[in-house]
């Protein structure tokens, strides 16, 4: 996944991160089913939201990558 490259490494960052996932719609639903919040008919895009203290842990679990939740702030 190229998602880890898009995650912000700075502790003061607040805001949205936009990521494009190239997969079939059925694959997307299987992976992100509980986190889909909106579908935009005009652009045919889905919006998933991960927020709160466990957001990186949740994303790490979904992607099956323990390193995704490891954030190192200087």
Q: Is residue 67 domain-resident?
A: yes
Into how many domains does the chain fold?
Answer: 1
pLDDT digits (tens, 9 = 90+) for 3-50: 555 555 554 555 666 677 788 889 988 988 888 989 999 988 888 887
Q: Is residue 69 domain-resident?
A: yes
Q: Say what the pTM is.
A: 0.58
Q: Is residue 55 domain-resident?
A: yes
Q: Is residue 20 domain-resident?
A: no
Say if CB 3 and CB 12 are below 8 A apart.
no
Q: Is residue 19 domain-resident?
A: no
Place of tokens 């997307």: 28
Dist CA 28 CA 25 (whole Å): 5
Q: Is residue 41 domain-resident?
A: yes
Would you mind telling me the total number of residues written for the chain in this entry? 74
The residue segments making up the domain with residue 44 are 1-8+29-74
CA distances from 67 to 14, 22, 57, 61 (A): 21, 21, 10, 10
């Amino acid at each position: 996944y190229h998602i880890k490259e898009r995650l912000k490494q700075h502790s003061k960052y607040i805001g949205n991160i936009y990521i494009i996932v190239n997969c079939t719609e059925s694959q997307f639903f299987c992976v992100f089913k509980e986190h889909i919040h909106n579908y935009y008919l005009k652009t045919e895009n889905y919006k998933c939201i991960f927020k709160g203290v466990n957001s990186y842990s949740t994303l790490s679990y979904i992607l099956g990558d323990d390193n995704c939740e490891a954030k190192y702030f200087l």
